[in-house]
Structure formats: structure tokens, C-alpha cells
Amino acid sequence: LSDRLTSALQSLSRKGRLSDADIDATAREIRIALLEADVALPVVKAFIAKIKDRAKGAEVSQALNPAQQVVKIVNEELVGILGGETRRLNLAKNPPSVIMLAGLQGAGKTTLAGKLAMWLKKQGHAPMLVACDLQRPNAVNQLQIVGERAGVTTFAPEPGNGVGDPVDVARRAIEEAKHAQYDIVVVDTAGRLGVDEELMKQAADIREAVQPDEVLFVVDAMIGQDAVTTAEAFRDGVGFTGVVLTKLDGDARGGAALSVREVTGQPILFASNGEKLEDFDTFHPDRMASRILGMGDVLTLIEQAEQHFDQEQAEQAAQKLTSGQLTLEDFLEQMLAVRKMGPIGNLLGMLPGAGQMKDQLASVDDKQLDRLQAIIRGMTPAERADPKMINGSRRLRIANGSGVTVREVNDLVNRFFEARKMMAQMAGRFGFGGGGGGSK
């Protein structure tokens, strides 16, 4: 894929504008990348349509070629979708908070219970695990082992009581947590290999009985295209408030993340990436977007191109500022750029060490800037480029044209020359900028 993309990038790099053809060519590559990442087809289609829309309305970047620009838009959109509603765990006002885990068998629920418990403990919580998977003979024991490793208590039905009722276990566990002052209860539930009615009903019953603050749908990132049907089944059968992706240490490109997010609208809260308890982290949308796109190198290139462009712009500005070639046109541009950021008073207030200059700065109010702007606008382009030519009669014309006095025009022109001289002197002293002051 990267070869194809590279050639697309090259073939597009010569053009200056984003045409429909540019967008379509890159969109095709993106479509393949998403499908290769196992994003479900309907999700891919909807996503590509959205991207095309946005790319068509986008301003043409000067820093990037069209293909890079489309990839950048795709990446931003992906990060937005994956993390648009990133949020913390919902916890109850009156503890214990209840976090219920749901998902297919083998998704990684029991392992996650231990990871979550350890993570919560590190955050200063006192979590308790609850074994509500009474389906598989060994499930309770597995949770107990995980709990021991995490250093937390596991609530389990007394052995020898037959199969037991998970709803009852969950209820009793929460009573126990209140008593013993655990502030978070993590409920592990049973899963089946495929979606099935009985499993859904059991999970729904547990949810109904314990009213969790959070129901986390645990999904194996390797599940690929099946992510959509599984997520829909759990959404309709149990309902969930958040998603955890597991097995991200595998080679899955993570398309399941995008599918589940798009289809259910629920946020992805955590990521599991290994069998050990510490292989766990909060979910990072940017990392996942880059993984799904599989274009890490291209994204790095884009970032570098943009940085390089910004740097060039800054250097050009500095060069002008210090070379004694600053014009009133530049001056006006700078002023407008600064003013776009808000009222001048606010800006000055944010400057560190502006204390002593306060009085002086206080006199620079927005009205005054309006007048300066009016004066410069009243000049011809030639006058702005070469302020030396602004003689007496020109000053009178400018003053009349912009509704100010000749004195104000004089003030502006004189201050401009002073500023320009000062900049050039500073540049000379510090050995940077143009004007022949280079040290080599």
C-alpha cells in the first residue's frame, strides 16, 4: 500500500490546487487502507463520503501538496471520531460505583477486570472484583487469581452451592462493598463464543439488578469486520456506556475501533495490549488513528512539511524585520494578524513581564490601532512599500483621505522609521538577520 500511496503523493505533488480528481485519487487509497485495517464496509463508505465533502470545502494549504492535505484531513477526522467524546469513567456520587463488563467469551473481560482493578487502585480507589461468570467451571477461579495479582479482593459465590445465580451474586457483592467500604465494584460477567439470547438476557438482568454507573463493552481488536454485528447485538441486548479494546498487542490494525465507535456512538475508554496486568492504558485516539490508517510515515512527513513551512514563514518575517527592509505593508499585515487574536488589551495582559510597560501599553488601545490602520490604508501601495517617498504633500493627502490630522500621519511615519532602525541595529548587534551582519 505505501508504494501505491507514495506514487499517488508524487503524482499529485506538482499541482497547486485541490481538484475533485486529486481528492478522488487519494480517497481511493484511504478506502483501501481502511478496508485493510478491517473497518466495516458501511463505516468506510460513510467515512469516505464525509472526507470528500470536507476536502472539497477545504482551503488549499501552501505547506502541503493535495494528497498530503487529504491525508491530513482524514487523520484529523479519524482522531475526531475516535476521541470526539473521550471521557473519564462515570463514578457514582454515593459509592460504591459499579462497573460492569460485557462481551463475547475470550474478549478479555476477566483479564480486564484485573487490569482495571490495579489501575483504579493506583488512582487511590479501593476496588472489589465480583465473579458473575458462573457459566464456565473455572471462571471464578480465574478471576480470583487475577484479583490476587492485582492485590484486590474478589467477591465470589461460596463453592459447593451448585451453579448459583449471577444476579444474586452481584446484588450481594454490592451490599458487601457498602459494608466494607469498597468504592468501586467491577462486575465480571459470562460470555459466549457467539452472540446468544440467553447470554444477553443474563447480562441484561445483572444490569437491571445492579444499575451500573458504567457498562463497558469489551471487544477484541482482532475481531475485524464482525465488530459491527457484535457491538450492535450488545447495544440492543444489554446496552453499554463505553468500550474497551483488547489485544491491541496483536497485529490487528484496529479497524474495529472505528466501526464500534461509528455504529454505537459510545466512547472508547481503555485499551488493553497484552496478557500482563500492566498492559493497559487509557485510549489514545491519535495513536489509533495512525494505526488504522497505517500511514505513520506519511503522517510524520506531513507534520515535518508543515513545521518546515511555518519555520520558513517565520524566517522570512524575521529576515524582513531585521534587514531594514520592513515596509508599512508588512507593518499593517502584522497588526492585522495580531488583532485577529482579540482585543489588544487582552493580548498585552498575557505577556509575561509586561508590568513596567503597562502605562505605555495602556495607551495603545483599539481605537488608536483603528486609526493607524486607517492611515496605512490611505496610502498607495508604492508609499507603503517605500515610506521614504511620503513627503509633505503626500502626508496631507493621506491625512485628508483617512480622516486624521497631518500630525498623526507624521507620528506614524516617524515611529515606523525609528522602529525599523532599531530592528536593524539589534540584528547587527546580535549577528543575525540580513543587512550584511552575518558572522561567517
Q: Is 189 in the site for Mg ion (CB under 5 A)?
A: no
DSSP H stretches of helix in 151-280: 166-180, 197-210, 227-237, 255-264
Helix (H) or strand (E) holding 248: none
Question: Binder to ligand GDP among 20, 53, 236, 275 (CB under 6 A)?
Answer: 275
Q: Which of residues 244-263 bind ligand GDP (CB under 6 A)?
A: 246-247, 249
Q: How many CB atoms lie within 10 A of CB 374?
A: 15
Could you please report the per-residue DSSP string of 391-403?
Answer: -HHHHHHHHHHHT
Binds 225: which of Mg ion, ligand GDP, none (CB < 5-8 Å by kind):
none
Can you state the angle between helices 296-322 and 66-83, rounded to 10 degrees?
Answer: 110
DSSP H stretches of helix in 213-295: 227-237, 255-264, 285-293
- The cell numbers describing 325, all together, are 527592509
Kindly state the smallest distance separating residue 120's Cβ from ligand GDP, in Å.
Answer: 17
Phi, psi of 103, rounded to the nearest 5 degrees? 160, 175
Question: Binder to Mg ion among 26, 65, 75, 110 (CB under 5 A)?
Answer: 110
How many whole angstroms separate alpha carbon 209 and alpha carbon 194? 24
**Site size toward Mg ion, by CB under 5 A:** 2
Contact track, ligand GDP, 183-202, x by CB under 6 A: --------x-----------
Kindly state the smallest distance separating residue 107's Cβ from Mg ion, in Å.
Answer: 8
Q: Which of residues 100-139 bind ligand GDP (CB under 6 A)?
A: 103, 105-111
Kindly state the smallest distance separating residue 230's Cβ from ligand GDP, in Å.
Answer: 12
Contact present, 70 and 311 (Cβ < 8 Å): no
Helix then strand then coil, in percent of the chain rounded to 5, is 60, 10, 30
Helix (H) or strand (E) holding 368: helix 366-377
Q: Which residues are annotated as a binding site?
A: 103-110, 188-192, 246-249
Closer Cβ to Mg ion, 40 or 146, answer by number:
146
Contact track, ligand GDP, 67-106, x by CB under 6 A: ------------------------------------x-xx
Kindly state the smallest distance separating residue 76's Cβ from ligand GDP, in Å.
Answer: 28
Q: Which stretch binds Mg ion (CB under 5 A): 56-64, 102-110, 169-177, 259-267?
A: 102-110
Contact present, 272 and 56 (Cβ < 8 Å): no
278 contact partners, CB below 8 Å, separation of at least 6: 115, 118
Kindly state the smallest distance separating residue 112's Cβ from ligand GDP, in Å.
Answer: 6
Q: Which stretch binds ligand GDP (CB under 6 A): 61-69, 73-81, 269-277, 294-302?
A: 269-277
Q: Which stretch binds ligand GDP (CB under 6 A): 1-9, 57-65, 251-259, 273-281?
A: 273-281
Contact present, 371 and 408 (Cβ < 8 Å): yes
Closer Cβ to ligand GDP, 283 or 331, answer by number:
283
How many whole angstroms separate alpha carbon 409 and alpha carbon 415? 10
DSSP H stretches of helix in 84-124: 109-122
Binds 253: which of Mg ion, ligand GDP, none (CB < 5-8 Å by kind):
none
Kindly state the smallest distance separating residue 146's Cβ from Mg ion, in Å.
Answer: 9
Question: Tell me, what amino acid is at 278?
Answer: E
**Contacting positions for Mg ion (CB under 5 A):** 109-110
**Contacting positions for ligand GDP (CB under 6 A):** 103, 105-111, 191, 246-247, 249, 272-275, 279
